A = this chain, B = another copy of it.
Amino acid sequence: MNRTQADALIERIREHVLAALPPTTTVNDAPELVQEFWELQRAYPERPGKGLRGLFTVLSCVAHGGREEDAIVPAAALELFQNWVLVHDDVEDDSDTRRGLPALHKLVGVPVAINVGDAMHVAMWRLLMTDPTPQRDALVREFLDMIERTAEGQHMDLQWIAHGTVDVSADSYLSMVERKTGHYTVSAPLRLGAIAAGQTPDDAIIRPALRLGAAFQIRDDVLSLTPDTDGSFGKAYLGDLIEGKRTLVLALAMERLGADERGRLTDFYQLSPDAKTDAAVEDAFGLLEASGAIAEAQRVAERMADEAIAQLRDLLPASDAGQVLLEEFNSLAHRTR
């Protein structure tokens, strides 16, 4: 599979997501506001995203001996999962933008955005329920587990911010991020693909898959602290720092800095985003950089990714699709923007 074929597959999955969110309800005479409600559910899916998780799901299915079409439903449901979670995450983080446009709650307010996300969540289950294969129940169980773990990770992340917990250890950070992004970015796509191919997923893939997912996130966090990114990951330069996200960079910096500097960084992270002046952001960034934590996090992420990909290479069935999947993982782990 070349890039053009992968892009075509991503587009096919995206069309499947949009088809699960019809522009009008089944009630033909629905009030205008109800029609608007369904349009709003399409807002994020209509903004082109990378679609990587859906792609990973289909590639895993083919690597496990299935056909592409066997995995279109779980792949689309996984993309729809990400879309509704992003609607809620953007409220929870009070993010300004998403995929280059205003976050949904900035357009329609927090109450409406929460409710739209809930309806998209329901649409995800409806889509998954349309899977006509005998694997449907196993796919559903995988989604149940995945969403639980993701929400657990999100809870840890949110509470660290709410409680002003700044001295998060590297281990705690990894425990959070494996839950929050590792499951739905790598582990679940690999497992869903195997299930869609009629196989029982090998539990041994879970550990390296979660490490790889964490490595992707660390790479993302490092890029958010690297000048010259152009916002193409939906995050402005230093955006995470202003939002106060706990990262491996922060954990490593707290280990490395002296007491005074650690205090300054702690004070900064306990400020609300609005209270962070440009000078304060510059100072905090300077502390992270001077500690060497940014470069170290980058090295950790690369090592974790390389080890995980090597393990997955041994665990996944050898196949062309498996090779494409591993290459996708590799380029994501080493991307520079």
A interface residues with partner B (beta carbon < 8 Å) = 25, 30-31, 33-34, 36-37, 85, 88, 91-93, 108-112, 114-116, 118-119, 121-122, 125-126, 129, 137, 140-141, 144, 147-148, 151-152, 154-156, 158-159, 161-162, 172, 175-176, 179
Contacts and interface: CB of A to CB of B under 8 A. Distances in A.
Given A36-B155, A93-B111, A129-B137, 20 more contacts: A31-B156, A31-B175, A33-B159, A34-B152, A34-B155, A36-B159, A108-B162, A109-B158, A111-B161, A112-B155, A112-B158, A112-B159, A115-B154, A118-B151, A119-B148, A119-B155, A122-B144, A125-B140, A126-B144, A129-B144
Integer count of this chain's copies in the complex: 2
Contacts of A152: 25, 30, 34, 37, 119
Given A31-B172, A33-B155, A114 B92 contact: yes
A274 to B, nearest CB: 15
Contact of A115 (B33, B37, B125, B155): B155
Nearest to A162: B109
Contacts of A158: 109, 111-112, 115
A112 B162 contact: yes
Contacts of A85: 118
19 contacts: A31-B156, A33-B155, A33-B159, A34-B155, A36-B155, A37-B151, A91-B111, A92-B115, A93-B111, A108-B162, A111-B158, A111-B161, A112-B159, A115-B154, A118-B147, A121-B121, A122-B144, A125-B125, A126-B144
User: Residue among A34, A121, A137, A162 with the most chain B CB within 10 A?
Assistant: A34
Contacts of A92: 110-111, 114-115
Nearest to A141: B129
Contacts of A159: 33, 36, 112
Chain B CB within 10 Å, residue with most, of A88, A141, A155: A155
Contacts of A125: 125, 140, 144
Q: Chain A interface mostly helix, strand, loop or mixed?
A: helix
Given A33-B159, A148-B25, A152-B25, A118 B115 contact: no
A156 B27 CA distance: 15
A91 B109 contact: no
A279 B159 CA distance: 40
A110 B125 CA distance: 25
Nearest to A112: B158
A53 B111 CA distance: 25
A125 B121 CA distance: 11
Contacts of A30: 152
A89 to B, nearest CB: 9
Contact of A110 (B36, B110, B121): B110
Q: Residue among A91, A92, A161 with the most chain B CB within 10 A?
A: A92
